[in-house]
Amino acid sequence: MQTITQKLANPTRFMQLSGIVLPWIAGAAAAILCYGLFLVFAVAPIDYQQGETVKIMYIHVPSAWLAMMAYGLVALSSFGLLVFRHPLADVSAKAAVPIGAAFTFLALFTGSLWGKPMWGTYWVWDARLTSVLILFFLYLGLMALRSSLDDESTAAKLTAVLALVGVAILPIIKFSVDWWNTLHQPSTGLTSTIDPSMRIPLLIMALGFTLLFFAMHMKAMRNEVLRRRVKALRLSDIARRDGRTSQPTPAAG
Amino acid sequence: MDLGPHAAFIWSSYAIVGVTIAALITWLYADGRRQAAALKDLEARGVKRRTSVPSHADDNHAAGSL
C-alpha cells in the first residue's frame, strides 16, 4: 500500500492532483485573508499600550511563523532527497526557498516598522532579530549556491546539505527570547498571553498566510516540474540533432 | 479610518506585505506560463524525451529529469 508521499512521488500524478487542489487552496487563502483583514481593521480592539500599531502584529507574526516553517519544509525536503531520493524532494526544496526568503524579509521589514514607534529604533542587534537576519542570509545562500551550479543533481545535493546544516537556526530563533535578555517580547503564545479578541484575528490571519504559502509553494513546484521537462526535452532535441549530424555521409558517386 | 499617530508605520507595513505577495504571485504565474509555452513549443516540434542515460540514472531520477 503506497504512502501519500510515495503516491505523490510520480511527477505526473503530482501535476494532476495539484492542478485540482491548487485553485481551492488559493481561493480559501484569499477568502480567509479578506475575512482576517476585516477583523483586524473593523473588529479587533486597539492595544492599551501600543494603540493602533498592534495592527502590525497581524502581518508580522504570520510572516515570522512562515519564515521558519518554510525553512523547516526546505530542511524536510532536503532530508527526503538525501535519504529517500524522493523525485519531488528537490523540487519542493527549490520551490520553497524564494517564498521563504520573501516572508523572512517581510518579518524583518514589518518588525522594523513596528519597532520604530514602539522601541524608538528600526533595528537593534537583539538575539531574535539577529537570528532571523541570519535565517534570511541562509535563504539567500541557498539560492546563490543553487544558481552557481549547472548540474542539477550536484546543486540539489549541495543545497540539501547546506539546508540541513542551517536547520540549527530554527531552535535558536525560537528560544532566543528565552535564552537571552532580548528587547523582542516573548513568543506570542496561542493560548494565554493574548486576549481572544486579538488572538482570533491573529489565528485567522496566520491560517490565511499559511494557505497562501502552500498555494504559492504548490504553484512553484508545478513550475519547476515543467522547467525540468523543458530542460529534458531540449537535451533530447540536441542529442537527436547531434546524432543526425554525426552520421557518416556515404561517399559521393 | 484614524490609525493614530503611527498610521504611516501601519499602512507601510501592510503595503510592503501586499506588494511583496503580489510580486511573488505575479512571478509564479509568469514563470508558469513561460515554462508551459516552452514545453508546448518543444512538443509541437515533435521532440520526445530521451530515456535517461544509465550511468547515473538514479541521480538524474532523484533530482534532475522528471
pLDDT of residue A8: 64
Whole-model pTM above 0.90? no
**pLDDT in the model for residue A177:** 84
B4 vs A220: CB contact, 8 Å cut-off? Answer: no
Residue labelled with grid coordinates 481561493: A27
Closest CA to A58 of A203, A190, A179, A187: A203
| ipTM of this complex | 0.88
In a domain, A68, yes or no: yes
Task: For chain A, give the longest Cα–Cα distance.
Answer: 98
Q: Is residue A115 included in any domain, yes or no? A: yes
Residue A52 lies in a domain: yes
CA-to-CA dists, residue A53 to A126, A193, B9, angstroms: 21, 18, 8
Q: Most distant CA pair in chain B: distance in Å?
A: 67
A95 inside domain: yes
Chain B: nearest CA to A106, how far in angstroms?
A: 6
Structural domain includes residue A234: no
| 3-state SS, one letter per residue, for chain A | CCCHHHHCCCHHHHHHHHHHHHHHHHHHHHHHHHHHHHHHHHHCCCECCCEHHHHHHHHHHHHHHHHHHHHHHHHHHHHHHHHHCCCCHHHHHHHHHHHHHHHHHHHHHHHHHHHHHHHCCCCCCCHHHHHHHHHHHHHHHHHHHHHCCCCHHHHHHHHHHHHHHHCCHHHHHHHHHHHCCCCCCCCCCCCCCCCHHHHHHHHHHHHHHHHHHHHHHHHHHHHHHHHHHHHHHHHHHHHHHHHHHCCCCCCCC
Query: Is residue A180 very low, low, confident or very high in pLDDT (cuts 50, 70, 90)?
Result: confident
Chain A nearest CA to B49, separation (Å): 5
- Which residue type occupies A130? T
The answer to whether residue A251 is domain-embedded is no
- Provide the pLDDT confidence category of residue A192 given band limits of 50, 70 and 90: low
Query: What per-residue confidence (pLDDT) applies to A5?
Result: 66
Contact B63 A41 (CB under 8 A): no
Q: Are A93 and B62 in contact (CB under 8 A)?
A: no
CA distance linking residue A199 with residue A101, whole number of Å? 26
Tens digit of pLDDT for each residue in A117-138? 999 999 999 999 999 999 999 9
Compare CB distances from A41 to B1, B5, B64 and report the shortest one's residue.
B1
pLDDT at A87: 86
Residues 95 to 154 of A: which have CB under 8 A from any B CB?
A: 98-99, 102, 105-106, 109-110, 113-114, 116-117, 152-153
Q: Is residue A244 part of a domain?
A: no
Establish if A100 belongs to a structural domain.
yes
Per the structure, the complete domain to which residue A87 belongs is given by 17-226
What tens digit of pLDDT does each residue of B8-48 get?
999 999 999 999 999 999 999 999 999 999 999 999 988 87
Counted domains in chain A: 1
